[in-house]
Amino acid sequence: LTRQLATKKAKGKGQAQARVNISAALVEDIINLEETNEDMQAVVEALKEDFSRNLNIRTSPGAFDHIIVVTKDGKFPLNQLGQISQKSPQLIIVNMTNFPESTAAATKAIRESGMNLNPEVDGTIIRIPIPKITREHRESLAKLAKQSTNKSKDALRKVRSKSVTQIKKSKNKVSEDTIWMLEKQIQQMADSAAAEMDKLLAAKTKELLG
């Protein structure tokens, strides 16, 4: 195992950061680096899905599918309880005929979805007027994108901390040098995932604000 480009002592402001690339097979008894990387990428993918599902300027029936409705029988996605259709660019209809007893709960879930909607109920039919896209609405979505990114970065830090804690448990079995390199590599993984999140946020903000 060797350190590449620089050592811990050589690291400083204005210098290229040391990059470490340890073979996962050599340290598999200490930590599963591939699993750690997968966990970090899962956080990135969850953010990507959140952006795609919840932060669109144009509201389509698919945007309502995964709104979670809390009923007396448990929690269910809206599309499992009602038939969602688009009657016009400004109107979405949710037909709750199959589960009429959940109409009120579904209406509440839509109202509290964070999508800036004010559903109207007519029997077992929920009408959802789609508001015109205003600058204020775009800015509100951009703020939500920033908040979601920050939450995802918190989740990323938890994955990194968990992995570092696991490594430190092996400090009596392996050299300090190996521990340092593993911590460095995990930090590199986290930095890479965070950079990917920043790119996603920049692209989404540009899409929302123009």
How many domains does the chain divide into? Answer: 2
Share above pLDDT 70 across residues of the chain, in percent, rounded to a whole number: 86
Q: Residues 45, 139: one domain?
A: yes
Average pLDDT over residues 8-16: 44
Q: Residues 95, 146: one domain?
A: no
Query: 10 Å Cβ neighbour count for 56?
Result: 16
Residue 109 domain flag: yes
Residue 153 is predicted with a pLDDT of: 97
Residue 197, domain extent: 24-55+134-209
Structure-token match 């509201």, residue found: 59
Q: Residues 149, 45: one domain?
A: yes
Q: In what order do the strands lie in the sheet with 91-95?
A: 83-88, 91-95, 125-129, 120-122
Q: Is the pLDDT of residue 109 over 90?
A: yes
pTM of the model: 0.66
Average pLDDT over residues 100-118: 91
Q: Is the pLDDT of residue 10 over 90?
A: no
Query: Is the separation of the CB atoms in 128 and 93 below 8 Å?
Result: yes
Residue 1 domain flag: no
Can you tell me whether residue 76 is helix, strand or coil?
A: strand
Q: Is the pLDDT of residue 17 over 80?
A: no
Residue 14 domain flag: no
Q: What is the mean pLDDT of the chain?
A: 85
169-185: pLDDT as tens digits: 887 787 888 888 889 99
Lowest average pLDDT, out of 16-30, 70-84, 154-168, goes to 16-30
Query: What gap in Å lies between CA 4 and CA 11, rounded to an integer?
Result: 12
Q: Looking at the chain, how many residues does it have? A: 210
Q: How many CA atoms lie within 13 A of 112 on its CB side?
A: 9
Q: Residues 31, 119: one domain?
A: no
Residue 179 is predicted with a pLDDT of: 86
Average pLDDT over residues 86-94: 91
46-60: pLDDT as tens digits: 999 888 877 877 667
